[in-house]
């Protein structure tokens, strides 16, 4: 039999069986039968309540509190949400709109029985406004976040981030979207001719474990909390009526631990997507992709064409099954882990239908154009930096014998909360993140800075395993990102530029965005100093 030359010789993608991670739903909590799904229309941005929209031109006050929401048929569900009011409308986890360059102000009023925060995921803010667990807001206390939005246009998000309690607080509901706009985005909107809220829609995908009484269930100290119900825009297993035309979807995975592999399927046929943006905003050009991996916290801005479909036809947004085996030789046996310990590991995800899209007649006279304008040069990105002279910081992800997660020798709780290292403001480093062969895929998230992915050693970017740039990069790796998946046995290299306008020491987090891993200490803080 052929032997394995290096740490990673082969990837095998197989059909295999559905798989749940260790702490999947309790036996009495199962996914709905197919005929009970796709009965609720997708919640759209706007109006009142969940997904209401508010412009951050005016200061906003958000109250973290338990609220009651009608999410599922039958009994209401208690959600922990960021509640507010604007022009007489009740807001719960509203979509916040801002423009690059705006100074925004949001006051958090914590009326929960435990500490919480608002972390501005992906935004380049200072430590005081970052909303990490370094600055918890105690029950009954308030905190005012006020910062300048320096990021490019894109879909960002906000969520709770208290040490050790992020998993439970997000599972219970404390998360919302934030859209930043800039000139490039305005120009693209014009060219595409799609109105936000109509053919340009967020798809905020979460999974929850929901009990028979419609209550959200969470077990403190859980591993990898995988839900038994899918919520898209806070709507369980929804459907969306679409006209035969192009749509723009801003996909975001806000699940605690479930890695998604979204794909639009018409029967067995894949409707290809055009990927135009990632975490940190627009790519330079559109890339055709059939599917992509969307780990917790990641965003993907995609265009999909329903133009060839007739009214009455249906499309599924499905998270495809994946079984990725690393370090396997051709006989199917695992080769030993070159870093020690055990034989190779596998990353698996079960197939999951997220929502249904139903093609309907276009009601207006003017059908949208069947073709997209050319999507070359939609945004300007600086060229990939030449990092040959940059210092390299090695970061290894691993689990110890007792099942505790580490980044190098740091476990956030065991190591105290002190910064693991410091970097100079304005300096630049290559971060080389190496995942243990026996581990799981870890979506690693950096606060305060967007980075560029320089290379990755194994992960196939889509079904076809297509790489579009040197260094094994797939389309998703080409833009600015704040969260990157590191597969078992993989080495991912990032270019991080610590340029910023703040003064004094600023502490930020690097952590796994599998929230149970984060809560168990797979996180470190580092300091940016003058
Ligand atoms: Cu979205 Cu440190 O988190
Ligand atoms: Cu992890």
What does the pLDDT look like over 276-290, one tens digit per residue?
999 999 999 999 998
What pLDDT sits at residue 458?
72
Within a domain: 213: yes
Q: Residue 274 pLDDT > 90, yes or no?
A: yes
The pLDDT, as a whole number, for residue 72 is 94
Which residue's CA is minimally distant from atom 1 of ligand 1? Answer: 121
**Ligand 2 centre distance from Cα of residue 443 (Å):** 6
Residue 203 and residue 248 in contact, taking contact as beta carbons nearer than 8 Å: no
* Dist CA 329 CA 334 (whole Å): 6
Find the 254 Cα to ligand 1 centroid distance in Å. Answer: 11
List, in sequence order, every residue forming a beta bridge with 459; answer none if it has no partner.
none
- How many domains are contained in the chain? 1
Averaged pLDDT for residues 366-380: 90
Write down the pLDDT at residue 325.
52
Decide: residue 268, CB within 10 A, 0-12 exposed, 13-18 middle, 19+ buried.
Answer: exposed
**pLDDT score for 419:** 96
Query: How many angstroms does the Cα of residue 518 sit away from the middle of ligand 2?
Result: 7
The lowest-confidence range among 287-301, 366-380, 455-469 is 455-469
First to last CA, the chain: 56
Q: Is residue 49 part of a domain?
A: no
Torsion from C-alpha of 270, 272, 275, 276, nearest 10 degrees:
-140
Global pTM value: 0.92
Residue 256 located in a structural domain:
yes
pLDDT band at 426 (very low <50, low <70, confident <90, very high): very high
* Residue 375 CA to ligand 1 centre (angstroms): 31
- Give the closest ligand to the alpha carbon of residue 509: 1
Give the position, in ligand 1's atom list, of the atom nearest the Cα of 509.
2
Considering the chain, what is the average pLDDT of its residues? 88
β partners of residue 205: 232, 253
**Domain of 203?**
190-359
Please give the Cα distance from 39 to 163 (Å, whole number). 38
Which residues does 236 contact at the CB level (< 8 Å), separation at least 6? 40, 71, 72, 229, 230
Query: What are 395-415's pLDDT values in tens digits?
Result: 999 988 888 999 999 999 998
Q: Is pLDDT of 20 > 50? A: no
For residues 259 and 64, give the distance between their C-alpha atoms in angstroms, rounded to a whole number: 27
Q: Ligand 1 centre from 160 Cα, in Å?
A: 8
The ligand placed nearest to the CA atom of residue 510 is 1
- Atom index in ligand 1 nearest the CA of residue 122 equals 1
Residue whose tokens read 């168990």: 520
CATH number for the domain that contains residue 211: 2.60.40.420
* φ, ψ dihedrals at 253, nearest 5°: -95, 110
Atom 3 of ligand 1, nearest CA residue? 121
Q: Residue 347 pLDDT > 70, yes or no?
A: no
Burial (Cβ within 10 Å: 0-12, 13-18, ≥19) of residue 488: buried
- Which region holds residue 397: left if phi is over 0, alpha if psi is between -120 and 50, else beta? beta
- The CA–CA distances, whole Å, from 289 to 9, 262, 460, 471, 504 equal 24, 11, 12, 18, 43
Q: What is the pLDDT of residues 218-228, one digit of tens each?
A: 998 888 888 88
Contact 140, 120 (CB under 8 A): no
Residue 6 above 90 pLDDT?
no
Give residue 421's pLDDT: 97
Ligand 1 atom with the smallest distance to the CA of 157 is 1
Which atom, in ligand 1's list, is nearest to the CA of 121?
Answer: 1
Judge whether 71 and 229 are in contact, CB under 8 Å.
Answer: no
Q: Ligand 1: list residues with CB < 6 Å.
A: 119, 121, 159, 161, 297, 445, 447, 509, 511, 513
Q: Is residue 40 part of a domain?
A: no
Q: What pLDDT, on a 0 to 100 scale, did the predictor assign at position 464?
A: 53
Q: Binning pLDDT at 50, 70 and 90, where does residue 23 land?
A: very low
CB neighbour class for 24 (10 Å; exposed up to 12, middle 13-18, buried from 19): middle
- pLDDT at site 335: 45
Residues sharing a CB contact under 8 Å with residue 17, sequence separation 6 or more, in sequence order: none
pLDDT, position 341 = 39
Question: Which DSSP category does 502 fall into?
Answer: -
Task: Determine the pLDDT at residue 364.
Answer: 77
Distances (CA, A) of 38 to 79, 206, 269, 302, 305: 22, 15, 20, 22, 21
Q: Is 26 helix (H, G, I), strand (E, B) or coil?
A: coil
Q: Is residue 103 a part of any domain in this protein?
A: no
> Is the model's pLDDT at 472 over the cut of 90?
no
Ligand 2 centroid – CA 386 distance (Å): 29
Ligand nearest to the CA of residue 158, numbered in listed order: 1
Average pLDDT over residues 132-155: 98
- Residue 78, Cα to own-chain centre: how many angstroms? 24
Would you state the structure tokens that stand for residue 284, as one six-digit string?
Answer: 């330079």
Dihedral in degrees, nearest 10, Cα atoms 344, 350, 351, 352: -140
Strand partners, 453: 494
CA distance 131 to 118: 5
The sheet with strand 452-456 has its strands ordered as: 405-407, 392-399, 428-435, 491-497, 452-456
Of the listed ligands, the closest to the CA of 254 is 1
The verdict on residue 355 lying in a domain is yes
CA distance 193 to 208: 35
**Counting atoms of ligand 1 from 1, which one is nearest the CA of 518?**
2
Give the confidence band of 455 by pLDDT, cuts at 50, 70, 90. very high
Helix (H) or strand (E) holding 263: strand 262-266
Please report the pLDDT score of residue 13 as a whole number. 33
Residue 284 in domain: yes
Higher pLDDT, 352 or 170: 170
d(CA 241, CA 93): 24
Ligand 2 centroid to 106 CA: how many Å? 30
113 falls within a domain: no
pLDDT digits (tens, 9 = 90+) for 295-346: 999 999 999 999 999 999 999 999 887 665 544 444 444 444 444 433 344 5
Task: Return the pLDDT at 30.
Answer: 53
* Res 1: pLDDT: 28
Residues 6+ apart with CB under 8 A from 255: 205, 206, 207, 227, 296
pLDDT at 99 (0 to 100): 98
- Report which of 441, 443, 445 is spatially closest to residue 458, judged by C-alpha positions: 441
Assigned token pair, 203 = 């798809």
């Amino acid at each position: 039999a052929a032997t394995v030359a290096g740490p990673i010789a082969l990837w095998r993608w197989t059909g295999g069986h559905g798989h749940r991670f260790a702490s999947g739903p309790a036996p009495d909590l199962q996914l709905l039968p197919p005929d009970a799904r796709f009965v609720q229309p997708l919640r759209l941005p706007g109006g009142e309540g969940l997904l209401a929209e508010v412009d951050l031109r005016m200061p906003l006050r958000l109250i973290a509190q338990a609220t009651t929401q009608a999410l599922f048929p039958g009994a209401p569900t208690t959600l922990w949400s960021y509640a507010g009011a604007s022009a007489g409308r009740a807001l719960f986890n509203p979509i916040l709109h801002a423009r690059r360059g705006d100074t925004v102000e949001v006051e958090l009023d914590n009326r929960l029985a435990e500490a919480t925060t608002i972390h501005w995921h992906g935004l380049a803010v200072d430590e005081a406004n970052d909303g990490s667990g370094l600055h918890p807001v105690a029950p009954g206390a308030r905190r005012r976040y006020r910062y300048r939005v320096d990021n490019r246009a894109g879909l960002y998000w906000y969520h709770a981030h208290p040490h050790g309690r992020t998993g439970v607080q997000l599972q219970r509901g404390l998360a919302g979207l934030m859209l930043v706009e800039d000139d490039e985005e305005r120009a693209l909107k014009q060219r595409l001719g799609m109105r936000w809220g109509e053919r340009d829609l967020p798809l905020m995908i979460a999974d929850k474990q929901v009990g028979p009484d419609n209550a959200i269930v969470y077990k403190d100290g859980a591993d990898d909390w995988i839900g038994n119900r899918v919520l898209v825009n806070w709507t369980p297993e929804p459907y969306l009526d679409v006209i035969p035309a192009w749509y723009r979807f801003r996909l975001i995975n806000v699940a605690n631990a479930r890695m998604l592999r979204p794909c639009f399927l018409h029967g067995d046929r894949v409707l290809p997507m055009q990927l135009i943006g990632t975490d940190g905003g627009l790519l330079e050009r559109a890339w055709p992709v059939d599917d992509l991996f969307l780990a917790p916290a990641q965003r993907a801005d995609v265009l999909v064409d329903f133009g060839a479909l007739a009214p009455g036809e249906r499309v599924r947004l499905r998270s495809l099954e994946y079984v990725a085996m690393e370090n396997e030789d051709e006989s199917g046996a695992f080769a030993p882990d070159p870093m020690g310990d055990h034989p190779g590991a596998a990353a698996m995800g079960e197939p999951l239908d997220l929502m249904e899209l139903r093609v309907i007649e276009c009601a207006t006279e003017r059908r949208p154009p069947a073709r997209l304008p050319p999507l070359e040069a939609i945004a300007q990105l600086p060229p990939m930096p030449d990092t040959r002279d940059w210092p390299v910081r090695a970061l290894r992800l691993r689990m110890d014998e007792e099942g505790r997660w580490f980044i190098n020798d740091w476990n956030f709780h065991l190591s105290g909360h002190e910064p693991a290292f410091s970097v100079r403001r304005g300096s630049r480093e290559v971060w080389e993140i190496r995942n243990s062969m026996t581990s799981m895929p870890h979506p690693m998230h950096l606060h305060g800075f967007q980075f560029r992915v320089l290379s990755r050693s194994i992960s196939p970017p889509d079904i076809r395993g297509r790489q579009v740039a040197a260094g094994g990069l797939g389309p998703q790796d080409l833009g600015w990102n704040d969260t990157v998946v590191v597969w078992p046995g993989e080495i991912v290299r990032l270019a991080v530029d610590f340029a910023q306008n703040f003064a004094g020491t600023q502490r930020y987090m690097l952590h796994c965005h599998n929230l149970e891993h984060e809560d168990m200490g797979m996180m470190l803080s580092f300091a940016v100093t003058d």
